[in-house]
């Protein structure tokens, strides 16, 4: 035998769509009326990642641009060859230009305010080579040879303009990257 409620449903007397339940009170977060202080997001373009942070209080935007082995750092492009690689005697080449000693760049980097301080005392370079961004305008590749006995390493910059355009579209002060 069917129960009375089941029979009422089967005969159409009780329609679940017509049952009215009391409204639940809306609970508000104490922070709901306050805007987020910082909006952060990332944009990927090929091998490059643009991290964008917009501070809603100060109305400033800060960004970082990096790939697997390259970072932009306050007007410099830092190439990472590995923490155990000593780049003190390295040579580099921009596109098909002449090979140049890293020594000429280190002194200029320091004059412009970049100091690598990550490596141990026996390898103060920390496996990094920093080149002023202005030296790389329009460059398609940078090749770095850490020592006369090591294989040169090629860093592809062909998709960098796409990443810089994405950074600019995200509100980044690209000239400060």
pTM over 0.85: no
Looking at residue 104, its pLDDT comes to: 81
Looking at residue 120, its pLDDT comes to: 44
Whether the Cβ atoms of residue 130 and residue 77 lie closer than 8 Å to each other = yes
State the Cα–Cα distance between residues 64 and 38, nearest whole angstrom. Answer: 15
By residue count, the chain amounts to 177
| CATH 2.60.40, domain 38-176, yes or no | yes
Looking at residue 4, its pLDDT comes to: 58
pLDDT in tens, the chain (177 residues): 456 555 555 656 556 566 665 665 666 666 666 678 899 999 998 899 999 999 999 998 889 999 999 998 778 889 999 988 888 889 999 999 999 998 887 676 666 666 565 544 445 677 888 888 888 989 999 999 999 999 999 999 999 899 989 999 988 887 777
Which sequence spans correspond to the domains of the chain? 38-176
- Range 67-106 burial, b when 16+ CB lie within 10 A, else e: beebbbbebbbbbbbeeebbbeebbbbbeeeeeeebeebb
* Number of neighbouring beta carbons within 10 Å of residue 61: 16
């Amino acid at each position: 035998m069917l129960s009375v409620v089941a029979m009422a449903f089967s005969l159409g007397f009780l329609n679940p769509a017509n049952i009215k339940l009391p409204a639940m009170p809306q609970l508000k977060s104490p922070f709901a009326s306050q805007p987020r202080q910082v909006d952060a997001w990332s944009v990927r373009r090929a091998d490059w990642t643009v991290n964008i942070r917009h501070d809603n209080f100060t109305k400033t935007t800060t960004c970082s641009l990096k790939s697997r082995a390259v970072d932009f750092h306050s007007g410099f492009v830092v190439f990472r060859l590995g923490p155990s690689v000593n780049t003190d005697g390295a040579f580099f080449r921009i596109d098909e230009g002449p090979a140049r000693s890293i020594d000429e760049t280190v002194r200029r980097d320091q004059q412009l305010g970049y100091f690598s301080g990550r490596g141990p005392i026996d390898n103060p370079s920390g496996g990094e080579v920093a080149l002023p961004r202005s030296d790389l305008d329009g460059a398609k590749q940078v090749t770095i040879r850490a020592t006369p006995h090591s294989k040169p390493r090629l860093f592809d910059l062909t998709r960098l303009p796409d990443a810089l355009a994405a950074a600019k579209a995200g509100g980044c002060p690209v000239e400060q990257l």
